[in-house]
Structure 1
Amino acid sequence: MDLITVQQIRVPATRDEVTFAPGERPLGGGTWLFSEPQEGLTGLVDLTALGWEPLTVTDDLLTVAATCTIAELTRLPAHDGWAAHPLIALCADSLLASWKIWNVATVGGNVALALPAGAMTSLMSTLDATAVIWTADGGERRMPVTEFVTDVRVTRLAPGEVLRALEVRTAALRSRTAFRRIALSPLGRSGTLVTGRRGADGETVITITAGTPRPVQLRFDEVPSERALADAMSRIEEWYDDPHGSPDWRRAVSTLFAEEIRQELGGAA
């Protein structure tokens, strides 16, 4: 879609040039930005011009630049012991987008958009990723992705701030994972997406997205009992309500998926 109110696109070469005048927004892949009218938008600041390395892997950390495309992330080779690696493709596929979109859409853009069915939000929440944020005063701050997204289309980004990267501990990538997703139609938006992760120390994390307005995590020191998990699921109060699923349905299928995941990760049936 043509954004007829845009008067200029700025191409920053340094961090000092990453500033935002009234009416300006950051531009990554732009797959959502160009999909519908953007009221009040007068300018774009193209973050892709900064040349951030898409993916950086060290012994302890995987750093995913906010401008890394979904295609680039799915091509990341599995390293020794990365049991969670298949989760990348599973979450990417849940976008139901063509490879053309994958080649443009960015990981950071999907997270910062903060839609309940944001597949990269699901992935990064499951892996306990940390959001790295450039602050307007030239500094930097960090927070878990599960705290970064606070509601539908709402994040903890303050005015003038930019999501710079997402950091994933390789210990999380060595965890066992499980994945469940459902939609009301074969090619529909996710009604709920539930994942599980069990670390080497036995810690078990169940993450719910799409069915809730923001990522919800249930954490246990070990694989929980059926009763303990059911009790924890019953205490989730906010379930999303839109044409892709009612709150009661989302609660029911999420609870069913969580129990299936609990058993898959080693819980007694």
Structure 2
Amino acid sequence: MTEVISPAGPGMWRPGDAWLGGGTALFGEPRPELSRLLDLPSAGWDPLTVRDDGVEIAATCTIAELAAALAGPAIVRQCCDAFLASFKIWNVATVGGNLCAALPAGPMISLGSALDGVCTLIAASGRERQVPVAGFVTGAGRTVLRDGELLRSIFLPAAALRARTAYRRGRLHRHGRSAVLLIGRAEPGGGLTLTVTAATRRPRVLRFARPPHAGELAAALAAIPATEYVDDVHGHPAWRRHLTGYYAEQIRTELGR
């Protein structure tokens, strides 16, 4: 690393560059292939913008800012708490950085996917495109970002933020990384949206137009390939899959009341 460009923006990227948010993931391991960092927080984006139809969260919004500004919906605080991080990390780590790191256990990925979030991406040319959060992460450590493209913001629709939710999180020990994180969202007319994260390499969103019975839910979960379940020190795939089914049934029952 030889240089930090601050402030930075679209059109400044060149091969060997990386966009810098809070840096908690970027600095977590050696990256000898990088020569420059493009500093995004210094661009001065507003952390959150409240609109009639929802909330626009800047990629540079810190976890602390998100938790303070969106204190109403319980699911926001639950996902922020899933970091199990100190206040120092909360005040540095960014929402966008958590998405771009694309770790299966990334709680901002869980939150955005569960609430039908939409990412705004900006290419080096300045052209924008929108991608659902659930489709932004394509695998462990992989996203749809193209060379030079940056994540500008995440939009959460007002209807999803107002919805009744249920949250379940499993890990091997109290202060361990999430091994399974499920969020259920009640839909108008009794439908259910169930989002599976942490257990799988990428978010899996299951939608039911009407209240599903236990068999329907189990069949939908069974359609997730066994190879999609994460295998690492934080949990065996078979255990993650079992816990996913166990928590999913709890959520179905809770939101069906």
Please give the TM-score of this superposition, normalised by the length of structure 2.
0.96
Moved more, 21-30 or 34-43: 34-43
Which of 177, 181, 205 is residue 165 of structure 2 equivalent to?
177
Deviation of residue 78 (structure 1)?
4.8
CA RMSD of aligned residues (A): 1.2
Which of 180, 195, 200 is residue 188 of structure 2 equivalent to?
200
Whether 1:9 and 2:11 are equivalent positions in the alignment is no
Q: Which residue of 2 aligns with 1:82?
A: none
Give the whole-Å Cα distance in 1 for the aligned partners of 2:244 and 2:195: 10
Which of 238, 247, 250 is residue 237 of structure 2 equivalent to?
247
Deviation of residue 35 (structure 1)?
2.1
Which of 68, 76, 97 is residue 75 of structure 1 equivalent to?
68
Give the whole-Å Cα distance in 2 for the aligned partners of 1:216 and 1:77: 24
* One-letter amino acid of the structure 2 residue matched with residue 197 of structure 1: R
Moved more, 18-27 or 65-74: 18-27
User: Are the aligned partners of 1:129 and 1:144 in contact in 2 as well (CA < 8 Å)?
Assistant: yes
Show CA shifts across 1:203-228 (max 9, x none): 31110101000000110002211110
Alignment of 1:100-119 (within 5 A): 100-119=88-107
Show CA shifts across 1:31-76 (max 9, x none): 1112221121111000111111100111212000000000000001
Q: Which residue of 2 aligns with 1:3?
A: none
User: Are the aligned partners of 1:12 and 1:45 in contact in 2 as well (CA < 8 Å)?
Assistant: yes
User: Are the aligned partners of 1:174 and 1:199 in contact in 2 as well (CA < 8 Å)?
Assistant: no
How many residue pairs get aligned? The number is 255
Q: Which residue of 2 aligns with 1:146?
A: 134
Which runs of 5 or more structure 1 residues have no equivalent in the other structure?
A: 1-5, 80-84
- Flag as ranges the 4+ runs of structure 1 deviating above 2 A: 199-203
Deviation of residue 136 (structure 1)?
2.1
What secondary structure, in the 3-state scheme, does the structure 2 residue paired with 1:258 have? helix
Give the whole-Å Cα distance in 1 for the aligned partners of 2:245 and 2:256: 17
Please give the TM-score of this superposition, normalised by the length of structure 1.
0.92
* One-letter amino acid of the structure 2 residue matched with residue 243 of structure 1: V
| Identity, % of aligned positions | 49
Q: Which residue of 2 aligns with 1:50?
A: 43
Deviation of residue 12 (structure 1)?
2.9
What secondary structure, in the 3-state scheme, does the structure 1 residue paired with 2:190 have? coil
User: Are the aligned partners of 1:130 and 1:145 in contact in 2 as well (CA < 8 Å)?
Assistant: yes
* One-letter amino acid of the structure 1 residue matched with residue 54 of structure 2: L
Q: Which residue of 2 aligns with 1:266?
A: 256
Give the whole-Å Cα distance in 1 for the aligned partners of 2:70 and 2:144: 31
* One-letter amino acid of the structure 1 residue matched with residue 37 of structure 2: L
User: Are the aligned partners of 1:223 and 1:265 in contact in 2 as well (CA < 8 Å)?
Assistant: no
What secondary structure, in the 3-state scheme, does the structure 1 residue paired with 2:188 have? coil
* One-letter amino acid of the structure 2 residue matched with residue 265 of structure 1: L
Alignment of 1:15-30 (within 5 A): 15-16=9-10, 18-30=11-23
What secondary structure, in the 3-state scheme, does the structure 2 residue paired with 1:75 have? helix
Which of 120, 127, 131 is residue 119 of structure 2 equivalent to?
131
Which runs of 5 or more structure 2 residues have no equivalent in the other structure?
A: none
Deviation of residue 201 (structure 1)?
4.0
Alignment of 1:200-239 (within 5 A): 200-237=188-225, 238-239=228-229
